[in-house]
Structure 1
Amino acid sequence: MTVITIWSESGGVGKTTTTLNLAAALGEQGKDVLIIDLDPQPASITDHAGYQDAKNGDVEVTLSDVLLDDDVGLSEVIIEDELFDLAPAHESLASLETTVRAQQISTAEFLLRSKLAEIEDEYDYILIDPPATLNLLVDNALIASGNVLVPMEMTRKGERSIGGVVETVTAIESQLQRAQPDFSLNVIGVLPNKVDGSILNQEIQGSLEDVDGVEVLPITIPSYNVMEQAWDAHLDIFRYAEHDDYGLRKYQESLLDAYRDLATLIIELDADDETEAVVS
């Protein structure tokens, strides 16, 4: 089971749409995929995937219950879907940090990691979508996954944010290595997102290639308004393309190819890691 956190400190860079559509692309290729939504904000992936009631409704078990109660398993909140399964966020996640302090939980950053062991034989990939703001939920996501994929707009704002992501990952890694010397956090790479082919896009993408600790992935996600339309329809781009009421124009199908290429890259990187492990 490979676990990946999709994260950036900047909002609006396409973190949630990347998570949803990467999950759909992996599912389309026959992989068993779970999305874990750790973002309590209204417009999170739970809403995007069409499960608003699971987030704001009166449900028996929430993701907060899973994290805080040793007797509640992650499987109790998972919603099964066609291309991927979803562990939905709940608005109660917003108060998780306060609850943890009140209960004096000393290992709060490891809550999610301990829960993943229960389902490690059920999924090929788990994608975690935490909030952009650095907090306990982000810590849990990074520690549970050990892998970070950073979607980034090719804008000056995005360019400034990448340094913060690298610094955060390095700081968390250093802190945990004091207790676990073999712990590491791997930045898979920066995914150029919402790319329109402008000169500014090209300049920023080129400048990132000179930043230490940053690998720009050889895949770009084009900027098309149809992504917003898919969001409004509560569909990933693959099901939006096949829906009788929607669909894509010919030039927009490059979005499908881009996410398929991203899924293929993730699978290939995973296979390379397994090969290195066997050789070593």
Structure 2
Amino acid sequence: MIPYTVWSEAGGVGKTTLAANLARAHSNRGQDVLVIDMDPQDGGLTNHFGLDDAKADGEVDNLVLHMLNRGRGSFDDLVRTSEGIDCIPSHNMLGTLEELLGKAKELEEDTNPDPDYEYEKEKQLRRVLIDADVPSEYDVLIIDPPASEGQHLYNAVYATSNLLIPFEPSPKGEQSVNGLRDVVRGIESELDDIDVGILGAVPNKVKGTNINQKYLDALEEEELPVAPVTIGERGSMLGDAWDNQVSIYELDSSEDYRDLRDYERPTLEKFDDLAAHITKQFERPEVEA
């Protein structure tokens, strides 16, 4: 399985847009894709795919309940599908995940007969996914957590062990890269027993200005792996896709979008190339006979 978390500590740099369209690009390659929206805020991945109708329903089963061992049904019943992509939608209960996991830790450790037992908050999503046999059911797992550090991010990273980082070449984007290695080391320290791989920083919203180039040069100086794909500023296509709650690929197939197809075609091709680049990183090297 190809598991990764799309994350940047700077908001508004295209994290959710990148996750949504990469999910569709992987699906177009014939890969079975599961996306998990770990962001409790409105307007995230769940909204992008038009699956937010039950987000505020306190009666429905949701991922947080399963992470607390309080699921009201099977994991498979959480899954909804859009554009051939399976999705675990966000739920308002994610807004109290940190507090709920803290209470679960206290209860589990107080009631466990083993005095050395430790309830590990950051490992609960991984446990749920393994119990549901997700690693063998899907080819690709993409998780979209909020920008802030905390249990949403820690659970996402522990479940995937890999980060893909959208980078906007601007002062805002620079915030997401400066000191990134310190952030990753901090996550590894928090999670204790994993090494976090960085699949690449993806330059996004690039306009080709001198200011853009300044921050792209700064990215190179960080000695981080940079994806061989640059996503240009395509406000029309990406914005229209967001407004219509579809991926850019679905938008491209619409007759109403016909006049802009040729102009926007390179954007689709770059997401295709990025999905291929990520996939290649997980391929096992051929062994010569």
TM above 0.5: yes
Q: Identity rate of aligned residues, in percent?
A: 37
Report the CA distance between 1:69 and its aligned residue: 1.4
Question: What is residue 196 of structure 2 aligned with on the other side?
Answer: 185
Q: How far, CA to CA, are the matches of 1:269 and 1:225 in structure 2?
A: 29
The one-letter amino acid of 2:125's match is L
SS of corresponding position for 1:221: coil
- In the TM superposition, residue 28 of structure 1 has moved relative to its aligned partner by 0.5
**Partner residue, 1:109:** 122
Letter in 2 for 1:116: L
Instruction: Note the C-alpha offset of 1:83.
Output: 3.0
Q: Write the mapping of 1:28-39 to structure 2, written as runs, cut at 5 A.
A: 28-39=28-39
Shift of 1:57: 3.6
Aligned 1:186-265 pairs, distance under 5 A:
186-212=197-223, 214-226=224-236, 227-247=238-258, 248-265=260-277
TM-score of the two chains, using structure 1 as the length reference: 0.91
Q: CA deviation at 1:263?
A: 0.6
For 2:152 and 2:190, locate their aligned partners in 1 and report how far apart those are by CA, in whole Å: 17
| Shift of residue 13, structure 1, vs aligned partner | 0.4
* Aligned pairs (5 A) from 1:56-205: 56-57=56-57, 60-69=60-69, 73-103=74-104, 104=106, 106-117=119-130, 118=132, 119-177=134-192, 180=193, 183-205=194-216
Residue 237 of structure 1: CA displacement?
0.4
**Residue 39 of structure 1: how far off its partner (Å):** 0.4
Return 5+ residue gaps in structure 1 as ranges. none
Q: Deviations over 1:76-127 (max 9, x none)?
A: 2011233311010101100111112223263110011111212221100000
Structure 2 contact 168–205 (Cα < 8 Å) conserved: yes
CA distance, structure 2, for counterparts of residue 3 and residue 73 of structure 1 = 22
Q: Which amino acid aligns with 2:281?
A: L
Aligned mates of 2:75, 2:146 — CA distance in 1: 19
C-alpha separation between the residues in 2 aligned to 1:153 and 1:30? 29
CA 75–264 in structure 1, closer or farther in 2 if over 3 Å, else same:
same
**Partners in 2 of 1:45 and 1:129 — Cα distance?**
7
Q: 2:226 and 2:88 mapped to 1: Cα distance?
A: 29
Give the CA RMSD over aligned residues.
1.8
Q: CA deviation at 1:197?
A: 1.0
Bigger Rg over Cα: 2
Question: 2:113 corresponds to which residue?
Answer: none
Q: Tell me, in whole angstroms, the C-alpha distance in 1 between the residues paired with 2:25 and 2:75.
A: 23
Structure 1 residues 46 and 135: alpha-carbon distance in aligned structure 2, compared to 1, 3 A threshold: same
Residue of structure 1 equivalent to 2:114: none
* Distance in 1 (alpha carbons) for counterparts of 2:201 and 2:68: 33
Residue-pair matches, total: 271
Alignment-derived partner of residue 116 in structure 2: none
Match in the other structure for 1:16? 16
For 2:231, the aligned partner's letter is I
- Report if the CA contact (8 A) 1:73-1:115 is conserved: no
Point out where structure 2 has 5 or more consecutive residues left out of the alignment: 109-118
Pairwise CA distance, 1:59 = 5.1
